[in-house]
Structure 1
Amino acid sequence: MAKVLCVLYDDPENGYPTSYARDDLPHIAHYPGGQTLPTPQGTDFTPGHLLGSVSGELGLRAFLESRGHTLVVTSDKDGENSAFDRELPDADVVISQPFWPAYLTPERLARAANLKLAITAGIGSDHVDLDSAIEHDVTVAEVTFCNSISVAEHVAMMILSLVRNYLPSNQRVLDGGWNIADCVARSYDLEGMHVGTVAAGRIGLAVLRRLKPFDVHLHYTDRHRLPAEVEEELGLTFHPTTADMVPACDVVTVNAPLHPETEGMFNDELLATMKRGAYLINTARAKICDRDAIVRALESGQLAGYAGDVWYPQPAPADHPWRTMPHHGMTPHISGSSLSAQARYAAGTREILESWLDGTPIRPEYLIVQGGKLAGTGAHSYSVAKDRK
C-alpha cells in the first residue's frame, strides 16, 4: 500500500467555505488544440468547490483510502522539523501545487528513500529538482494544460490593470477620494502598443489570442517557432531571442518555464534594453527575473509597472521588496488556482494517481521526468544539467 503525502495551502482565514458565489461551472469539452480534459475513472468532489486548500484534499481521501492507501495532507512545508519533512522519508508519492510549493530539493530527495512519484497539481514542476529526480529515478508528472487558460486570463487582466492604472484608481475610491487627475496621470490605452511574450506555448499563445482584439502589435520568442499559419492569423512578429524582442515592446509578458536557460534572464542588463516606461508581467516563475533589478527598474522609471503572482520563495516573506516597490500589481500566486482550474487539476491529479497505482501508462503530456530522463512535456519544455554538458 502507498503513502501519499499531499501539501496544500491553508484554508481561508474564516474557515472552509459552506457556500460559494456561483452554483456551477461552464462545461468545457476540450482544451484549445484538442487535448481532452482529465479523464479519471471517477471523482469525489463538487466542481467549483475549494479543493486546493487543506480541507479540500484535492478530493482524494475517499478514493485513496477505499483502496487501502494512506493520505497525509498538510500545509506545513518549510522550516525546521516541518510536517512535510517528518512525513517525507517513507512517502511513496508527493503531491504539491505551484502556488504553495513543497520544494523537493536534492537534500530532501536524498532522504526520501521510498519516493517514486512527484505530482504537480497544476503546471510547472520547477519546485522539484529535476536533476535529482532523474538521479533517484523519481517520476515527475503535472496536469498539463489544466490551468493554462486561467493564467492567460490573469495575464490579460494584469496588462490592462497596469496600463490603465486600475489598481491605484480603485484604491482611491476605497480611500474615499475622487481626484481624477491623480488617477489618469499614469493611464494609457493599450491600443496600438507592441506586446510580446517570452515563450508561446499553451499559456503564451493563449495570451496572444486574447490580446489580438485590442488592436495591438503582437510579438513572440520561443525555442519552438509557431506554424506559419498561426503567425499569419494573429499577425505575429517572431524574434529569435528574448534580447532581440524586448527593445521593440511596450509590454512584455513572461510565460516560460523556469530552468537554467531562463533563470535570472530579466537582469539589469536586459531591463536596460527595454523601452523606458515599458510594462513587465510575470506569471511564470519569479526567478526568471532578478528580484532587486526589478525594484531598481521601477524606482528609476525604466519600467512603468511590474505585475505578476509568482514570488521566491513562496509564500513570500513580509519584508519581500516586491510588496512595497512602486507601481506594481502583485498578487499571491493565484492565477492558476481559480475554482474552475481546481476542478481540472484535482481531476488530473487523480488520473495520474490511478495510472500509477494501476500500473498503466501516464499520459505523455503529463510527464516531466520518467525512467531517469526528461520525458513527454518535460523533454519539450525543460533542460537539465546533462543537457548543458
Structure 2
Amino acid sequence: MAKLVCVLYDDPAAGYPTSYARDDIPAIERYPDGQTAPSPKSIDFTPGALLGSVSGELGLRSFLESQGHTLVVISDKEAALDRELPDADVVISQPFWPAYLTAERIAKAPKLKLAITAGIGSDHVDLDAAIDAGMTVAEVTYSNSISVAEHVVMMILGLVRNYLPSHQVVVDGGWNIADCVARSYDLEGMHVGTVAAGRIGTAVLRRLAPFDVQLHYTDRHRLPESVERELNLTFHPSAADMVPHCDVVTINAPLHPETEGLFGDELLGSMKRGTYLINTARAKIADRDAIVRALESGQLAGYAGDVWYPQPAPADHPWRTMPDHGMTPHISGSSLSAQTRYAAGTREILESWLSGTPIRDEYLIVDGGRLAGAGAHAYSTTV
C-alpha cells in the first residue's frame, strides 16, 4: 500500500465553507485544442467546492483509504513535509502552495516515485534530481490555463484603466475623479505582447483580439501560420526583440534555466517608458529588485501578477509595497471552477499510477528518466 503526502493551503480564516456564492459551475468537457478535460472513473466531491485547502483534501481521502492507502494532508511545507517525506511514495502539491522538492529532499525520500502538481507548473520540483532518481512528475495540464488567461486580461485592464486605486477612492468615501483618471488610459490601439504562446499565452491573445489591440508574441515554438493570420499576430524571435514594441507585456512562460531572471534591469530598460508588465507565470522570471526599481523610476507604469518567490511571500516582500502594482496571492489558477478540474485530474493520474496503467501523455513532465509529454515541450534541464 502507498503513502501519499498532500500539501495544500490553509482553510479560510473563517473556517471551511458551509455554502457557496453559486449553486453550480459550468461543466467543461473539452479544452480549446480538443484535449478532453480530466476524466477519472468517479469523483467524491461536489464540483465548485473548495478542494484546494486542507479540509478539501482534493476530494481524495475516500478513494485512497477505501483501497488501503494512507493519505496525509498538511499545510506545513517545511518541518511537517520533511517529517513525512522519508517513507512517502507520492507527494501532491499545488503551484499556489508548492512543496519544494529540492534535490536534497528527493535524496532523503528513497521511496518517492511520483510527484503530482494539482494544477500546472512543476518547477517547484527539481526536475534534474527527479530524472536521476527515476521519478515520475505529472501535472494536470490545461486544467486551469483558461483560468489564468482570464486573470491576465483582468490585470491588464485593471492596470491600464487604473481600476484598483479608483475603487479605493470609493471605499475611502471619496469622489475625486481627477485622481482616478490621471493614470487611466484606453487599451484600444495599444501593442500587447506575450512572452510564450502556449496554452495560456494563446488564450490571452484570443481574449485580447476583440479589444482592437496590436498583438505580438515570442515563443520557441512558432504558432501555425493560420493562427498568426487569424489573430493578426506579429512574431518576434526573442523577448528582447519584442518588448521594445509593446505597451503591455504579459509573461506566460514556464520557469526553467532559459527564462530565470529574464526580466532584469537590461530587458526592462529596453522597454518603452510606461509599459505595463503582467506576470502570472513564475516570479523568478523577473528580477525582484529590478521590478521595484523600474516602478519607482517610472520605466514601468505598472506591474501585476500573482506569483512570488518564495510562496507564501514574507510580510516584508518589496512587491507588497512597491508603487503602481496590482499583485494578488497566487490565485489565478485556483478558482473554484479550476479546482474541480485539477482535483479530478489528480485523481485520474492516481487511478492510472496505482493500477499500473500509463498516465496520460499530456500530464507527464518527467517519466522514464527523461522529460516527457508536456514536459518535453515546455521545459529544459541542465542534464
1:1-389 matches, within 5 Å, as: 1-78=1-78, 82-386=79-383
- Partner AA of 2:65 in structure 1: E
What is the CA-CA distance between 1:28 and the residue it aligns to?
A: 1.8
Distance 1:319 1:313 in 2: 12
Offset of residue 144 of structure 1? 0.1
Runs of 4+ with >2 A deviation: none
Q: Which structure 2 segments of 5+ residues have no match? A: none
| Post-superposition offset of 1:105 | 0.5
Per-residue CA deviations over 1:155-179 (Å, capped at 9, x if unaligned) read: 0000000000000000111111110
Deviations 1:172-213 (A, max 9, x none): 111111100000000000000000000000000000000000
Deviation of the 1:27 alpha carbon: 2.0
Alpha-carbon shift at residue 29 of structure 1 (Å): 2.2
- 123-132 vs 20-29, greater mean Cα deviation: 20-29
Q: Secondary structure at the match of 2:33?
A: coil
The superposition leaves residues 299-342 of structure 1 with CA deviations (integer Å, 9 ceiling, x where unpaired) of: 00000000000000000000000000000000000000000000
- Alpha-carbon deviation of 1:230? 0.2
Q: Distance in 1 between matches of 2:316 and 2:174?
A: 28
Aligned residue identity for 1:295? V
The separation in 2 between residues aligned to 1:73 and 1:240, in whole angstroms, is 44
User: SS of the counterpart of 2:22?
Assistant: coil
Query: TM (normalized to structure 1)?
Result: 0.98
Amino acid at match of 2:21: A
For 2:14 and 2:218, how far apart are their aligned partners in 1? 44
Q: Could you say what secondary structure the match of 1:287 adopts?
A: helix
Identity %: 83
Query: 1:376 offset after TM fit, Å?
Result: 0.5
CA positional deviation for 1:283? 0.1
3-state secondary structure, aligned to 1:385: coil
> Counterparts of 2:172 and 2:103 in 1: how far apart (Å)?
48
RMSD: 0.4
Whole-angstrom distance in 2 between the partners of 1:171 and 1:317: 24
